Structure 1
């Protein structure tokens, strides 16, 4: 038994030393009590685990079963009516005590938190940003939108916004003919907060009507308006500039449709654009819209 204890102590020292070598730079010992508490907990867990393991190894080697057998047995194997091990019972009660302590007092809800500090700094920065750019000019929005676009949008749409040879939507024009035809045939996203009704598929069923309307919309609403466009005008308006909470602007990239797509993503004939929700603030979304509109100009 003596050799086992000595071996256990050596094992504890080795495990604690290994823990400190791997994560010791995270512990300031007095500057951040959360990290100190974590290190103490690691030492306690290592020590208890090793000695409990040694205790039961010693019992398995030296103890013999004794006590009163219970009446129930399974295939001739019965259980003794012995009380639970004292150490196990104390450990169980200690775990419950620690649980309630951690829930009520120990959890650092009012202590330092790196995530909390980061959130505070981000919120403070966003407040300063919103205050500084509360009423930006269009020139300022275009410049801001360009820098935002080059970081967030250019990897897919290209630096020139032409869609990298059809791999993404060409943002220099509102819509291409095949994209208009795709939406007419397949419907469009249902954005519950902005356009709750969405657009059902097959609003037009005749291929000639689909071709005529697609050419008219993709052409920038120039020339004679097809009679079939009356079906579209009920939601998008006769001029195509949309109706609030009904249908988006299909003439140009207005602030509403750009913000909606950035926050919700968009499925189209090319593929699925992911949501950028949380990555841009409202001013940046408005700036991106202004920049995209400037490309068409």
Structure 2
């Protein structure tokens, strides 16, 4: 007598397992599938022997072939640098303020600078350099510290208001919430709004004009057009780094802002600093 369980409908042996009246057929996998599976096991064993695979405390097993993706990348970078060595040398020596867009060196600098920007700068300024709240838009012609090639290079090299570079650009706006009365804060806010928006209280703005002249014009100028030497923004062009609504402007006056940019001189090579400066200047907002 056979011990096999045969399904009456299909005539196929079953495993003996039954769920809710449903019997599990004992259908073997195709031979080709099994051999493929066995081959992947053999391939996997060969791979972990030949290539880096098992994580260790301070690294991974090296593998008998000694292959390294880092080494491959380094070779690729070295090959690129070697192929462009003459251009890199020219870029380091060149006066980048005099490069014309039609120059091969300018085109190389823009291409290289774009790669540097996407790797190191896009996290704050955006992949398209349009900025975000608190991070300047590099596409327009509104520059806190000047938009000439030399100004941009200096800013990239030394940064802004950081403690790492003694040559960083530096300025600090007072917290007028500790200087002005509440009604005076509201008046100055209204005046600043009136510089770029018709939607304001004219009488309150007139009071704010006097307060602005006494407290703010020394940095922002009598006409509130700003001063790149101090990093003081133009308040009359409707371009706002932290927002243009009444609450955002009032907050800036009351508490001040203190944006910080790191110095890239310790992190980037000299060709990269020059290249990314040329790239940023080429985006459309760079000043002559």
TM-score grouping bracket, smaller chain normalisation: 0.3 to 0.5
Q: TM-score, normalised by structure 2?
A: 0.34
Greater helix content: 1
Q: TM-score, normalised by structure 1?
A: 0.33
Q: Whose RCO is larger (CA < 8 A, sep 6+)?
A: 2
